[in-house]
Every structure is written in structure tokens, then in C-alpha cells.
Structure 1
Amino acid sequence: MPLKTRGKDVDKLKVAVLGATGMAGQWFASLLEDHPYFELVALGASKRSAGKKYKEAVRWVIPRPFPTKFSDYVVFDASDPDALPEKVDLVFSALPSEVAGEIELKYLKKGFNVVSNASPFRLEPDVPLMNPEINWDHLELLKKQERWGGKLVKNPNCTTAVLTLPLKPIMDEFGIKEITVTTLQAISGAGFAGLTAYSIVDNVIPYIAKEEYKVKVESKKMLGKLEGDSIRPADFVVEATTTRVPVLDGHTEVVYITTKRSVDVEQVKDVLKSFESEPQRLGLPTAPPKPVIVMEQEDRPQPRLDRMNGNGMAVTVGRIEITETNRVRMVMVGHNLLRGASGVSLLTAELMYKKGYIT
């Protein structure tokens, strides 16, 4: 990787964000404004934004105050690693998937470590696909990842990130044979310009391109077992129907889980309530104290009320029922841009830092 550098605060690593003007990029900027481990020193975006001050290049739309600390940062051309204004220890990528693969490779070949939201390379056998509470040990793959100069880590599709967090403790305790999920996904998942008002207001769109495939294959990889230098995918069956609904942020998912061992409602609740993992044990800054929150009210969770639980990093579960022998139904809500994108990338980077994968 590039020469080791330190920020103005000597204990912090220098980081850059690619795709800094988009919604996920804005969340990165907000989350990194006063981060204890990382100092954001460079903001990259498209050629049309390059050369402008960040406050001029970005149309700030997320429900957090604009980080004035970065107002006068001059945006660099994200497609050119040589345009970085200074050396960095880690690159966060919020680039659109259609351009991310080619651009991220440029950074990797220059020796930069990259933690990315984008879909290219997620299913490569030597690339960790991270939701840190459920598969923190998959970072061991980085020790065998030698084809580039830098190391690449991916986070999953936003729907899958929300889904797999409550699945992990259930799988560990009861085993899972089959999962059937129907999603009601927020419009922010399509990006700021992704859907016209006319197409989504007073409407539900019953199809999201490539989403159902991602849910199926990414869930199996993430909940799979690390064996040597590869992941053995989980052996459960996944059936997914993904829809877009007129909600700003927060994906809702209705999930049916067929378990391998007998189960009752109170056991499921207890397992979910008591779940914690390595990010909580390490006290990572972005880790929610309770990764899974169980609600007893019959009309919860709801995206408007529950998407920011755990600072947007918890998944909230309710309406837990046993519908037939060994079959559990639950409804879950998680923030698609925090647990499902920028937040989970940042949590992964914190874990990498604490575990010594980046130093």
C-alpha cells in the first residue's frame, strides 16, 4: 500500500471518499466529520464536479447537517488515483456500480486499500463480503488476497445487509433450512435521481433489477463458513421478492424462516435480544449497542419510526410468530444507507483497524 501517513491528529488514519456527492457519499462525509479513527482528507466525484469546492459540488439531501469542516475541500476526479490531493491509508467507495469496478481496480493496482459499497467483485472468492457482526472472521481472506497491490473489501446489497443481521443468531441457535423474504424498499436505495415522482407516488413497483439474485447469493456467502482460504456458502434455500415503495429511507422486510431445530416465539426473541458480536465487544464507534432490537407492539417496526434505531445501524424486528412447526415469521426494518451502505462500510473499516488489517 502507499507510504504510511497520519492525519493532523496523529492517532488517525487518512481516508478518502469516492462518489462523495451522492447520497451514500454524503453519509460517509457526515459520519467521518469527527471520527475517532479516521481523518477524511479527500473527496472525489465525477469529472463535472472535479475542481469545485465540496459545498459547491454537492446538493446536500440527507437528514443530517452539512459537515462544514469539508466545505472548502476541492473535489478531485475520482476516476484518477493520481489526482488524490494527498496520500491516504484507506479509500471508501460510494461510486455507482456501473463505473465502480474499473475505477476501484485503478486504486487497488496503485496499492490503495478499498472498502466499497458497489456490487462488482462481491462474489469473488478472495473478497470479504462484510456485515461485521455476522462474519467478522471473513476478513481473514485478506491474508490470501494477493492479486492487486491493495486489499479490497465489499459490503453487501442494502437489502441483504438488513436481512442477514437477525438471521445470524437464529442460524447459530436453530439452524436454517429455508428463507422466504418479501421486501418493501425505500426510494433512496435507487439514488437521488433513480425514480421519478410520477413512477413511485401512489404506487408500488414489484421489481428491482438484479436485487433478488443479490439477496439469494450474497446471503449465502455472508452466512457461510470460513474454511481455510475460502468461504463455504450456507446451505439454506433463499426465495426473494423485492419491491420499491414510496418511503424515503428504511427497508422493510417480511421474512419466513424454516429452521432445522424446533423453536418457539420466546426462544427467538431471547436469541435476538441477546445477540452481540465482535464489533460490540470491541466497542467500535459505529457499532450499535444492540445490533437487533425486538419490539413487542403489534404495529412495529415502521421505517419512519425505527430506521434510525442504533443510529441507523440496528435492525428492528417485530411481529414474531410461529406459523407452523419450525417456521418463524417476522418483520424487520433497517436503514438502507447506514446499515445497508455507508455505515456498514465504516463499521467494517473500524474492525479492520482494530484487528490490524490496516495500520
Structure 2
Amino acid sequence: MTSVGVLGATGAVGQRFVQLLDGHPEFDVSVLTASPASAGDSYREAAKWRLDTPIPEDVAETTVRATDPEEIPDDTDLLFSALPSDVGAAVEPELCEAGFVVSSNSSNARTDEDVPLVIPEVNADHLDLIDVQRDERGWDGALVKNPNCSTITMVPTLAAIDEFGLERVHVSTLQAVSGAGYSGVSSMEILDNVVPHIGGEEAKMETESRKLLGEFTGAEVQYHDAVVSASCNRVPTLDGHLENVFVETDDDPTPADVADALADAPTLDLPSAPDPLIRVFEEPDRPQPRLDRMAGDGMAVAAGGIQTTDTGLQYNCLAHNTIRGAAGASVLNGELLASEGWL
């Protein structure tokens, strides 16, 4: 078994990591870290568990450590990071310099030139950027990122459609409140309401998408040429980001052509990888968050409502934002790192 740790284990995404790693066939959770205020407490005491499954007994009495390289045993093979971005920016490089491999959900460093931003089914070859990273930074460890929760919902569908010559993308998101964390949006703000702004979200989608769809040259990632624009909205659903996507392509595929391309999107032989990657609905009113966010145990992307417009294509896509869009994405990246010998 591969010994792993979870950084920021007591927060919403950290708890999802712990849930997903419970009973994992390859990973054994041996280290849990949090803020200094929680260090020394049992995980049961520190976490204030909020998920709909019981806290895993294997880790409930584990003593929480401070998030510090000196607190993490040298024989820990892989660290999953659910740290806030400001903490991640400070701590993750220290961990990598100390020799640890970090699969991180934190938003810091996603677009750094030498940091792989990876969706395994889309751009697994970008992991080779680790060699560049180690040469430039002198690290024995490595830092790998998964993208923003809204980006990861859309990009697998764009990768499938790219065979038709992806030119321009506009997306309007309807993002669940869990994407802001447990205390992120007050009930008075979101009930009977939609908030048509999520700070920094549009820029993340517009930049991360082009990096993920780009080509690794052996020295750097050349971003995809497609123009991506986003409008991001917070809506009163608990989990599951729904997105309305408008695409212009070189070719003129029919809705049936697009449905076939989405359904044929490749999957991988990894424990957390869904099969199929994209579940395609014929019904015009699917996918829906309440009905479809747990497709593929929350790791699949659902798509439907495919139609042509005067300017190209329109369709809807959906993914579970704290599973595929956060902790599950990092776990899958960790599985890819293990399978390709980077640990």
C-alpha cells in the first residue's frame, strides 16, 4: 500500500478526501494535517464531520498534525492538498523541496509554467512537466494540480469535441453552494436568489481550460488557441455544477456526431476513473444536479441538450463539484502519479 496524507483534512474538501480514500485499494491514509489550532486533537474532534456517510473509523482517532514538513514522516509517499490557496502557496513548495510529491486541489500555482495541471483522461502526458519542474526548482518532490471545479466539468467535453476543430467557447455556469465551502455563502444571500458573480472564477475557467487542452512540447505547455469566455453564477443547489456551453468549431458536426464523440471519450484503468467518462443524455432536460451529480460515483461528467445554433453548438454539462471537481480529481491524479512511477 502507498502511504498518503491529507493536508487541510478538517475542511469541506479535506473531509471529502478522507471519505474517498476510505477503503482505497492502493492508498493508506497515515497522516492528517490541519491548522495549529487543531493539531494534537483526534480527527474526530477536529473535523466536525459534515458528510452524509459516517466518519471512517480507521482515521477517526488519528492525531491531527500541524501542516509543516517537519511534522510529516519521510516515508509518506504522497500528499493530497486541500489547503486554502494562501496557505498552499506558502507550504506546498516547502513540502516539495523536502522531497514530498503533492497532488493538490488548491488554486495556487495552477498556471505556473512548470506545474502540471492535469485531468488524467485529457492530458496525462503533461505529468512529464515534472522533470522540467525538478530541474528548474531543484526539488526531489513534485507539485501537481487539478483544475478549478467549474473548469473540470467542461474541459472533458471540450477535449472530446476538439476533433471538430475547437475555435471559440462561451460558458455560463450555475454553481452549487458547496463550491464556496461550508461557510462560504450565507443562507440569507443565496435562498430565493442567484448571485451572478464568483470572484476570480471566470479567469480561472478561461485560462485553465486552454492550458489543459494545450500541447506539452517536452519543455513547456503551449496553450490551446481556442478563445474561452465564462460567466459564473452561484445558485441554491447543494452539490453539482451545471454549465451551459456554446461552442464554435471549424467543422459543422451534427448533434449526433457530438453525442458520439462525447460518449467515446477515453477513460483510464485507474481505481477512481469512471467508465464512461461522459454520460450522454438524449433527454433535452438532462443533466440535472439532483438527478445526475453522482454519475460514476460522482466522478463522471454528464452531458445533454445537444443542439446546433446559428453560430455552432450548444449543450449542457454537469459534474459533482467536490468529488470530480475537487478531492476526487486529486485522488485520480494521485493514482496516475503512482501508476506512472512518479512516487
- Give the shorter-chain TM-score range: over 0.9
Could you say which residue in structure 2 is the equivalent of 1:23?
12
Could you say which residue in structure 2 is the equivalent of 1:238?
228
CA distance in 1, matches of 2:114, 2:193: 41
CA distance in 2, matches of 1:106, 1:227: 28
CA distance in 1, matches of 2:93, 2:52: 32
Could you say which residue in structure 2 is the equivalent of 1:179?
169
> Does structure 1 conserve the Cα–Cα contact (< 8 Å) formed by 2:128 and 2:218?
no
Q: Which structure 1 segments of 5+ residues have no match?
A: 1-11
Could you say which residue in structure 1 is the equivalent of 2:101?
113
Q: How many residues align?
A: 340
What TM-score, normalized by structure 1, do the two folds share? 0.93
1:340 aligns with 2:328: no
1:315 aligns with 2:301: yes
> Does structure 1 conserve the Cα–Cα contact (< 8 Å) formed by 2:274 and 2:300?
yes
CA distance in 2, matches of 1:109, 1:200: 42
Could you say which residue in structure 2 is the equivalent of 1:34?
23
CA distance in 1, matches of 2:315, 2:131: 37
Q: Deviations over 1:147-187 (max 9, x none)?
A: 1231110011110011101111100x201110000000011
Distance 1:85 1:228, change over 3 A: closer
Compute the displacement of 1:143 (Å): 1.7
1:129 aligns with 2:114: no
Query: Which of 130, 133, 145 is the matching residue for 2:133?
Result: 145
Q: Which amino acid aligns with 2:270?
A: L
What TM-score, normalized by structure 2, do the two folds share? 0.97
Could you say which residue in structure 1 is the equivalent of 2:282?
296
Compute the displacement of 1:59 (Å): 1.4
Compute the displacement of 1:287 (Å): 0.2
Q: Which amino acid aligns with 1:165?
A: P
CA distance in 1, matches of 2:10, 2:119: 24
Q: Deviations over 1:92-124 (max 9, x none)?
A: 100011211101122112111111001111111
Could you say which residue in structure 1 is the equivalent of 2:157?
166
CA distance in 2, matches of 1:224, 1:84: 35
Q: Which amino acid aligns with 2:56?
A: P
CA distance in 2, matches of 1:86, 1:113: 11
SS, match of residue 13 in structure 2:
helix
Compute the displacement of 1:62 (Å): 2.0
CA distance in 1, matches of 2:38, 2:175: 29
Q: Which amino acid aligns with 2:87?
A: V
Compute the displacement of 1:298 (Å): 2.0
Aligned-residue Cα RMSD (Å) equals 1.1
SS, match of residue 323 in structure 2:
coil
Q: Which amino acid aligns with 2:37?
A: R
CA distance in 1, matches of 2:295, 2:12: 19
Q: Which structure 2 segments of 5+ residues have no match?
A: none
> Does structure 2 conserve the Cα–Cα contact (< 8 Å) formed by 1:269 and 1:294?
yes
CA distance in 1, matches of 2:282, 2:58: 41
Q: Deviations over 1:203-226 (max 9, x none)?
A: 110000010000000000000011
